[in-house]
Structure 1
Amino acid sequence: MRVTQSMLSNNMLRNLSESYRKLGKYQDQITTGKKVNRPSDDPVVVMKGIGYRTELNKVQQFSRNIGEAYNWLDTTDDTLDKIGSALQRARELMVQASTDTLTVEERLQINSELQQLREHIQSLANTKIGNKYIFSGTKTTTPPFDNGYPAEPIDDAFFKGIEIEVFSGIQIQINTTPIQLLKEIDLMFADINTSMDKKSAGELSSFLESIDNVMDKILTTRADIGARQNRIELMDERLQSQEVIATKQMSENEDIDYEKAITNLITQESIHRAALSTGARIVQPTLVDFLR
């Protein structure tokens, strides 16, 4: 086959163009820190990267869900703790009221503080996170107490749990539904209010057992919350490990080795200079050059 000058020139230009393309590729890698900057650079790396990034996004979303779960459970536990403290104070007051030496006026003064505790517990029962009541089941826009009275009717929605996904296929209930217990506590304070000036000290002491019963129920409810908090902590630790693994996999797939990339760039620059030098020798003098 006869090799012409035009063939040599075209091959040289094609090789120079490919050399420029490789230089540009290595420069892009060093600038962005990524092995690929467009799908055509390496489709396999791009497809793997999509999978790793999807997995990382899922893990990060689960982490945000766990943050929401922490918020609900911690707020619920703190609120029930304050209700327990109010009940403990109510018990102390009922012990005083059950003394035979107290006059009716003194008992009414004690009852005044007890009813203040009742209102305090009602306000705690209406605790919200954002615009959602935490003790209203799935009826998060309905307060358990409205103007000092329990919500009516207490339908099934007040007892339904709100679940949130904290890992693939794993749902955890983040709310607590003690609406019946809160109503029982409020009814107990109402009975105390009507009985304080009518019953004897011995009859008033029966309320101590009622207070103890509701306090035990509060502790049982908090124990359930504590169990879920422990589960959330375990899931949080698992997700943190998963996030580290997913980030590492994505980095190994996409990020460049700077030392290798810089070496490739320097090598390609040397190749490019050699190609330019060789090309200058390939392009032979023409007749015009001799006529100058």
Structure 2
Amino acid sequence: MRVTQGMLAGNSLSNISNSYNRLGQIQDQLATGKRSTKPSDDPVVAMKGMYYRSNLTQIEQYKRNLSEGYLWLESSESAIEQANQGLQRVRELTVQGQNGTLSDDDKKAISAEIQQIVEDLENTANTKVAGKYLFNGTDVTESPIASSNPVTVATYGNKNYKIEVSENVFLDVSVNPNNVFSQKLFNTVQGIKDGLESGADLNNFLSDLDDVMSVMGAERSELGARYNRIEMVEQRLGSQEISATQILSDNENVNMEEAISELMMQEAVHNAALSTGARIIQPTLLDFLR
């Protein structure tokens, strides 16, 4: 096949155009820090990037769920501590009320203080977190206290409140309300109050109060165990997030040192292509007339 001047010129222009395109791609990589600026540049990188980014988004969502879990556990811990302090005070007042030297007015004063503690326990049982009742299982929109004077506890939700911390993995962040704000608790405290006013024997109520406080303490310990587990899950998610971020970076981000070296090499190639093209294309008549 006979090679013509037009073929040489066409090939030279095509090669120079490709060189310009490659220079433009490298400059885009350096400007954006990404290997490709659109999916057509590297479909494989784009496809893997979608998968890695989705994985990273899931991890970030799970970490947000953990934040909600921490809020529930810490709020539950605070509420149980407040309730426990109230019951401790009721016990002290009950022992004090059994003193035979107290006058009726003294007993009435103790009974009035216990009434204030009952109201505080009722308010604590109705604690809300982000607009959701904390001590009513999954019935987060319903108050766990059905009525007051005397306090009546509603039927608690049958299921526990859980958060998703991994795919199809859920952690229970609620406490068993029957072990914290049970009907027995309010009946016992109310019985102590009424017994003080009537002069009844309070020993049986003291025994019931100790039982209630013991069950509450066990539930509080269980709460601490769940808190420890959430901390372990948080550490695992943190490690996964670091790995996922690194994989995404390796897949999409350009190596600046390599890109700069390639840019310098491509510039040399481009200049050589321009020089070679100028030599291959034959001079025109105007060049001979100079």
Matched, 1:139 2:134: no
Moved more, 274-283 or 215-224: 274-283
Aligned-residue sequence identity (percent) comes to: 42
Q: Which residue of 1 aligns with 2:162?
A: 163
**TM-aligned CA deviation for residue 179 of structure 1:** 4.3
Q: What corresponds to 1:93 in structure 2?
A: 93
Alignment of 1:22-41 (within 5 A): 22-41=22-41
8 Å contact kept, 1:72–1:129: yes
* Runs of 4+ in structure 1 over 4 Å off: 149-153, 288-292
Distance in structure 2 (CA, Å) of the matches to 1:248 and 1:153: 51
Matched residues in 2 for 1:279 and 1:10: separation? 10
TM-score, normalization by structure 2: 0.93
User: Which residue is equivalent to 2:231?
Assistant: 233
- Shift of residue 146, structure 1, vs aligned partner: 5.4
Aligned partner of 1:208 among 206, 209, 216: 206
**Unpaired runs of at least 5, structure 1:** none
Report matched runs for 1:63-212 at 5 Å: 63-145=63-145, 148=148, 150=151, 153-154=154-155, 158-179=157-178, 181-182=180-181, 183-200=183-200, 203-212=201-210
Instruction: Tell me, in whole angstroms, the C-alpha distance in 1 between the residues paired with 2:152 and 2:173.
Output: 22
| Contact persistence 1:126–1:133 (CA under 8 A) | yes
Q: Deviations over 1:221-263 (max 9, x none)?
A: 1112111111111111111111111111111222221111101
Letter in 2 for 1:166: V
CA contact (8 A) 1:159 1:179 kept: no
Distance in 2 separating the partners of 1:241 and 1:50: 20
1:146-171 CA distances to partner (integer Å, 9 max, x unpaired)? 563656752xx623212211122311
User: After superposition, where does 1:212-227 map in structure 2 within 5 Å?
Assistant: 212-227=210-225
Select the residue among 219, 241, 244 that pairs with 2:242. Answer: 244
1:144–1:179 Cα contact (<8 Å) kept: no
SS at match of 2:164: strand
Whether contact under 8 Å (1:29, 1:256) holds in the other structure is: yes
Task: Give deviations 1:171-229, integer Å, cap 9, x for gaps.
Answer: 111222314752222222222232212124xx123322122111101111111211111
